[in-house]
Amino acid sequence: MRHSPEHADDDHDVERLDERFRELVVHLAPRVPLPPVAGIHKAVRRRRLRNRALIGAASLVLITGGATLVGIESDDGPPPHREAAASQPPVSPVNTTLAPVLSDALYPSVQEFPVVAGVYENWRVTETRQALTESLGPCATQTISGLGAVEAQERVFNHAGQGGGLVVLVRYPDEHTAELAATDFTGGMAGSCPTNQPNPAADGRPRIEALDRSGDAWRTQGVINGDLDQYVDFGIVRNGPVVAVVRETVIDPPKAPPTDPFLRLVDSLRDRLGKNGSGP
């Protein structure tokens, strides 16, 4: 306080002391630890800056197709939530390998083949192998591999005369493809079939006849070596994705063989496919 002249010097000293104290405070303030509250606020600001940087990085990962980071661990909110990024499911190969289902139970036995004296006798199995043929019949336009068959195998039969038999089993990837193959077979038999041998009259026209009303069995008649008659009977049945074709051939028989025994063979093949299933 300055109440009298005698205290003037004291007041001046006090002012100088105050000024120096303020300078000291300004100089030492940054070195003094902050009070607890101020330290907490500063830590919170640092975390927020860090979280903004992490969110920016997570957005970059999302754009490039990585994992989507929906929430970031933070002291300012609820626990984070993470979920898988939206991505394309793995593509399976087109030709997926499936377990084999074509078994011996689907093949007719030799006893089921027709026995006609002088025509079909003493049937026997020669071999069972992967199918060597590429078509189900002489008039088909679609190939087995072209339709993407999963399995294709055949069993070769022989008899005492000239000719033999063949049963082809084909499993397609689905029922629709199997139906397409069967329709291609029967449609070719019912329509134009330029690959068939000409008939014995040598007029150049194929001779094909349906053996029953169902359209599942057919007979072709042609000529071998220009003078030997050849009869080939075909039967086709389907169960789900599996198609079976049976073929019976005889060359130069004394007369045209009967058809009823072959139709019974086709019925037997149909029953086998029905009883033993057609696989997945």
Q: pLDDT tens, 66-85?
A: 332 233 344 445 444 444 44
DSSP 196-217: SPBPTT-SS-BEEEESSTTS-E
pTM above 0.75, yes or no: no
End-to-end CA, the chain: 108
Q: What pLDDT does residue 211 have?
A: 94
Q: Which residues of the chain are under the pLDDT cut of 70? A: 1-100, 194-206, 277-280
233 with 264: CB under 8 angstroms? no
> Which candidate, 183, 168, 162, 185, places its Cα nearest to that of 108?
168
* Amino acid 163: pLDDT: 93
- What per-residue confidence (pLDDT) applies to 196? 56
